[in-house]
């Protein structure tokens, strides 16, 4: 993948007015709250799950934005908002210069062809009762772009392109392995030649050796068709491998964004540092030298998030200010202006967070 710098812009409110042709998707201050109903006969709204709470980012043409964060931090909700699968509470999504926020189904239809999704679970995302050929042919059938023999031919070409035997057209999903099923998902997403593919943890359900195959396939397809990816994962190594830029999410907000190398090597946010320190390293010598930052406590409830910085109850560097004022996503001293972090006390180079936390590596 190209080493060009792409940035995930972010800011609490001000829409970044920068009419840039290289931007494919711009998300401005996106908010998605799910109402929580009280039990009983008369159901009242008892609270809001603040799944995504003010996220802004951009995906550039032909590049990959990696989105990382723990389970439940709102990554998948953000993806579903961009794909138009769930209505947005507030904020704006711009795709290719068009505002696609909360469009009606017919109005969204042309954009469905441009935005496709690859799902996490290769077992759950394919209908077990339908033949693979008809699953991959679905996009053609829905958009009425090809039928009959033309559709069959297109499907078989797609199957060949993603590394499946086109003769297996008439098989059922159950007759394929996990990696092959994910290839079916890729073929389906590729069918209409979209501009953006949202990959919602496309490899986390797969065996490590199969992960590499699918990642290489995605990478090849990107250069062949000029695709842009929004790549969601919780495996930091996978994200490092595929992404041009990275956005780190915590509890519905962005903690840190920037070019992959910046975020990984000059980490500013303590949460990013903790995530990175928890990732397993393949080299045992490097692993022995690392100090893990062990976060205490659980992820707070998104119904009632902590005041100020949402990470402060678990942060080894937290101070009084963190509980009171919410940090803005901004460029920290010494960083290029594409690298932003939302932290009052950003991590400095060479700083040992593990000691601050008072815990040693086990």
Partner 1 sequence: MSVTELEFQAHAVESAPAEAIEGRSQWQLTWRRLLHDRMAIASMIVIALMVLIAIFAPVIASIVGHGPEQAFPNTGTTVSGTPVGPGTNGFVLGTDYIGRDLLVRVVYGARISLFVGILTTAIATVAGVSIGLIAGYFGGFVDTVLARFIDSALAFPFIVLALALAAVFSPSLTIVIGVITFFSWAGISRIVRGQTLSLKEKEYIEAARSLGAGPWRIMFIDILPNLMGPVLVLATLYIPTAVIFEATLSFLGIGIPEPTPSWGSILAEAQTYYQIAWWYVVFPALALLITTLAFNLLGDGIRDAMDPRTERIFAAARARKGRRKKKQGQAAADGSAELAGPSAGTR
Among 61, 152, 168, 291, binds partner 1 (CB under 8 A): 168
Q: Which is nearer to partner 1, 283 or 298 (CB)?
A: 283
Q: Which is nearer to partner 1, 14 or 282 (CB)?
A: 282
Can you tell me the distance from the alpha carbon of 234 to that of 277, in angstroms, rounded to the nearest whole number? 13
Residue appearing with tokens 């406590």: 297
Told to check if 303 binds partner 1 by CB under 8 A, we report: no
Among 142, 150, 303, 321, binds partner 1 (CB under 8 A): 142
Told to check if 270 binds partner 1 by CB under 8 A, we report: no
Q: Which is nearer to partner 1, 238 or 309 (CB)?
A: 238
Told to check if 44 binds partner 1 by CB under 8 A, we report: no
How would you list the strands of the sheet with 245-250, edge to edge? 115-118, 196-200, 228-233, 64-68, 245-250, 253-259, 340-341, 330-331
Phi, then psi, of 204 in degrees rounded to 5: -70, -15
Phi, then psi, of 54 in degrees rounded to 5: 80, 60
Cβ distance 36 to 303 under 8 Å? yes
The one segment of 58-66, 92-100, 162-170, 254-262 that binds partner 1 by CB under 8 A: 162-170
Residues binding partner 1: number (CB under 8 A): 58
How would you list the strands of the sheet with 45-60, edge to edge? 45-60, 23-37, 90-95, 98-99
Cβ distance 254 to 4 under 8 Å? no
Told to check if 108 binds partner 1 by CB under 8 A, we report: yes
Find the shortest distance in angstroms from Cβ 308 to partner 1.
35
Q: Which is nearer to partner 1, 49 or 236 (CB)?
A: 236
Told to check if 143 binds partner 1 by CB under 8 A, we report: yes
β strands within the chain, DSSP E: 23-37, 45-60, 64-68, 90-95, 98-99, 115-118, 196-200, 228-233, 245-250, 253-259, 330-331, 340-341
The one segment of 87-95, 107-115, 287-295, 320-328 that binds partner 1 by CB under 8 A: 107-115
Which residues contact partner 1 (rule: CB under 8 A)? 80, 83-85, 105, 108-109, 112-113, 115-117, 119-121, 124-132, 138-139, 142-143, 163-165, 167-172, 175, 179-180, 185, 188, 208-213, 215-217, 220, 237-238, 240-241, 282-283
């Amino acid at each position: 993948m190209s080493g060009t710098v792409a940035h995930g812009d972010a800011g609490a409110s001000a829409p970044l007015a920068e009419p840039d042709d290289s931007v494919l998707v711009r998300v401005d201050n996106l908010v998605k709250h799910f109402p929580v109903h009280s039990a009983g006969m008369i159901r009242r709204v008892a609270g809001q799950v603040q799944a995504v709470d003010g996220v802004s980012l951009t995906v550039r043409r032909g590049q990959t934005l990696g989105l990382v964060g723990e389970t439940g931090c709102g990554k998948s909700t953000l993806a579903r908002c961009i794909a138009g699968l769930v209505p947005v509470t507030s904020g704006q999504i711009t795709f290719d210069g068009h505002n696609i926020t909360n469009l009606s189904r017919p109005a969204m239809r042309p954009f469905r062809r441009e935005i496709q999704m690859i799902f996490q679970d290769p077992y759950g995302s394919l209908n077990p009762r339908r033949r693979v050929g008809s699953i991959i042919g679905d996009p053609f059938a829905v958009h009425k772009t090809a039928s009959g023999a033309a559709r069959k031919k297109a499907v078989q070409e797609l199957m060949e392109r993603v590394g499946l035997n086109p003769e297996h057209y008439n098989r059922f999903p159950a007759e394929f392995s996990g990696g092959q099923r994910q290839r079916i998902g890729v073929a389906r997403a590729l069918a209409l030649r979209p501009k953006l593919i949202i990959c919602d943890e496309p490899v986390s359900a797969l065996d490590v050796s199969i992960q590499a195959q699918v990642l290489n396939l995605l990478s090849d397809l990107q250069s062949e068709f000029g695709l842009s990816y929004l790549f969601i994962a919780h495996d930091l190594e996978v994200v490092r491998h595929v992404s041009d830029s990275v956005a780190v999410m915590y509890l519905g907000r962005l903690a840190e964004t920037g070019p992959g190398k910046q975020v990984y090597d000059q980490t500013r946010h303590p949460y990013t540092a903790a995530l990175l320190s928890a990732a397993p390293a393949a080299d045992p010598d490097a692993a022995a030298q690392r100090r893990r930052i062990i976060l205490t406590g659980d992820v707070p409830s998104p119904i009632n998030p902590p005041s100020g910085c949402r990470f402060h109850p678990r942060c080894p560097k937290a101070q009084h200010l963190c509980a009171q004022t919410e940090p803005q996503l901004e460029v920290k001293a010494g960083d290029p202006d594409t690298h932003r972090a939302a932290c009052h006390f950003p991590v400095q180079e060479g700083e040992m967070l593990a000691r601050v936390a008072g815990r040693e590596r086990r």
